[in-house]
């Protein structure tokens, strides 16, 4: 399937069962082996993450919060924004996505574009291939690499919007009127497709076949990962033998492939050799995995119970908890946490916290952090490389 065909089928892939719902993982015996000693540095500042991002943006000379501003302020998307306002007062998840696009200080929705810019500056121009020397360069980054960073953000934003499509077959009375959800789905498909179309146009303007192939394959990985998550029933997560290895494969597809392949593409645009491209890929892959696991762990370590009452049943701590516990005991815990046909997440959360899943997830997060740091050792020391290291330290910090 080529990129054009993928875009034509994307709404069907994501809309068929695209409502965000809690999924079930069943345990296997593939537990984590030794993750090695942690190499990270911790900061006592409560604003550590925001500080890291702010300093990194200064290094690349480009506030990534404005990464996709040109597209978001276009006439077409402005009209869509006016339609989104009609959803105010409903419970359609597109509203939550829209709010997150405006402000998400913890997870930094522009992180992927920022990393692409940082690794571009860290690598610099190729010392072997000088064919790029006449390209425009600002703050040590080629203009084509900045365009790539914007494209990466557009693709990520489009997938966030598409993931908010509600499965109308699973609506409950508490979700609100059917017509609101139908209207929200139409807006989500339209706006997501618009962002993807802009990303594809930007890719074509780069005039680099390998970069187009890399980003197209990343988009296909994203669709495959999201489709797998949303098309699997709760019952199959109990009966199937799905463990942490499968979880990592699917998480890479849905969360890591875009950043990894974008980092590799940035090296291709600067004409770096295959070894440098692979190190950039490895950094993007492991940093993205570490970032995702950090997000998964948050509901289990927050002090306020109200903020962490619910959590995703296919998150890393839950998958690991099931593996340590064993399938039979896990199914028993699920049964004990059921009350009047609904799952009591507060009770299940306390059971998981009492096991080894949370601490093992933190170890896994730091394992991937170490792998990302190892990949950076191939790049010369610089403020850009230090910023990439600080991002790893930030996403592997849990206190």
Of 278, 229, 218, residue with least CA distance to 251? 229
Q: What is the pLDDT of residues 147-181, one digit of tens each?
A: 999 899 888 888 877 777 777 776 666 666 677 77
Q: Are 337 and 348 in contact (CB under 8 A)?
A: yes
How would DSSP label each residue in 188-220?
HHHHHHHHHHHHHHHHHHH--HHHHHHHHHHHH
Q: What 3-state DSSP class applies to 398?
A: coil
Query: Which tokens is 222 given?
Result: 């994203």
Query: Which tokens is 278 given?
Result: 């692979």
Reply yes or no on domain 46-396 having CATH 1.10.600.10: yes
pLDDT of residue 181: 76
- Give the chain's largest Cα–Cα span: 68
Q: Are 84 and 192 in contact (CB under 8 A)?
A: no
pLDDT of residue 219: 86
Of 236, 249, 228, residue with least CA distance to 24? 236
Q: What is the pLDDT of residues 204-256, one digit of tens each?
A: 999 999 999 999 999 888 877 766 665 554 444 444 557 889 899 989 998 89
Q: What 3-state DSSP class applies to 350?
A: helix
Least-confidence region, from 41-50, 209-218, 284-293, 337-346: 41-50
- Per-residue pLDDT, averaged over 48-55, amounts to 81
Higher local confidence (pLDDT), 81 or 259:
259
Q: Alpha-carbon distance 168 to 172, whole Å?
A: 9
Query: What CA dihedral angle connects 119, 122, 127 and 132, to 10 degrees?
Result: 50
Give the relative orientation of helices 143-163 and 209-231 as an angle to the nearest 10 degrees: 20
**Cβ-Cβ contacts under 8 Å for 253 (sequence gap 6 or more):** 221, 222, 224, 225, 228
Higher local confidence (pLDDT), 177 or 263:
263
pTM above 0.95, yes or no: no
Residue 319 phi, psi dihedral angles, 5° rounding: -60, -45
pLDDT of residue 276: 96
Residue 108 pLDDT grade (very low, low, confident, very high; cuts 50, 70, 90): very low
Residue 29 CA from chain centroid, whole number: 27
pLDDT of residue 20: 34
Mean pLDDT of all residues belonging to the chain: 75
Q: What is the pLDDT of residues 356-367, one digit of tens each?
A: 999 999 999 999
pLDDT of residue 68: 47
Whether residue 22 is predicted with pLDDT greater than 80 in this model: the reply is no
């Amino acid at each position: 399937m080529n990129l054009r065909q993928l875009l034509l089928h994307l709404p069907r892939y994501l809309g068929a069962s695209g409502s965000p719902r809690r999924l079930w993982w069943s345990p296997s015996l593939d537990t984590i082996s030794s993750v090695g000693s942690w190499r990270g540095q911790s900061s006592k500042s409560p604003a550590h993450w925001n500080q890291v991002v702010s300093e990194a943006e200064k290094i690349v000379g480009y506030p990534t919060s404005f990464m996709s501003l040109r597209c978001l302020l276009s006439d077409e998307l402005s009209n869509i924004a006016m339609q989104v306002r009609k959803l105010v007062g409903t419970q359609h998840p597109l509203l939550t996505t829209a709010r997150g696009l405006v402000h998400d200080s913890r997870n930094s929705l522009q992180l992927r574009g920022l990393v692409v810019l940082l690794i571009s500056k860290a690598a610099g121009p190729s010392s072997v291939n000088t064919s790029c020397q006449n390209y425009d360069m600002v703050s040590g980054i080629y203009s084509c690499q900045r365009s790539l960073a914007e494209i990466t953000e557009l693709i990520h934003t489009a997938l966030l919007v598409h993931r908010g499509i509600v499965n109308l077959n699973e609506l409950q009375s508490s979700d609100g009127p059917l017509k609101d959800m139908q209207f929200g789905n139409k807006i989500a498909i339209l706006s997501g497709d618009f962002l993807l179309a802009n990303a594809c146009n930007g890719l074509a303007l780069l005039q680099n076949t390998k970069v187009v192939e890399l980003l197209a394959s990343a988009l296909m990985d994203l669709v495959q990962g999201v489709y797998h998550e949303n098309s699997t029933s709760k019952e199959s997560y109990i009966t199937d033998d799905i463990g942490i290895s499968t979880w990592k494969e699917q998480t890479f597809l849905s969360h890591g492939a875009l950043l990894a392949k974008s980092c590799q593409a940035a090296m291709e645009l600067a004409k770096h050799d295959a070894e440098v491209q692979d190190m950039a890929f490895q950094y993007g892959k492991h940093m993205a995995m570490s970032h995702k696991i950090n997000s998964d762990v948050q509901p289990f370590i927050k002090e306020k119970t109200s903020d962490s009452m619910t959590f995703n049943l296919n998150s890393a701590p839950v998958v690991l908890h099931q593996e340590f516990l064993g399938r039979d005991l896990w199914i028993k815990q699920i049964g004990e946490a059921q009350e009047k046909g609904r799952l009591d997440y507060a009770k299940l959360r306390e059971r998981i916290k009492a096991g080894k899943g949370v601490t093992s997830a933190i170890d896994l997060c730091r394992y991937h952090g170490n792998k990302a740091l190892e990949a950076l050792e191939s790049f010369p020391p610089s403020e850009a490389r230090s910023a990439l290291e600080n991002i790893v330290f930030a996403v592997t910090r849990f206190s």
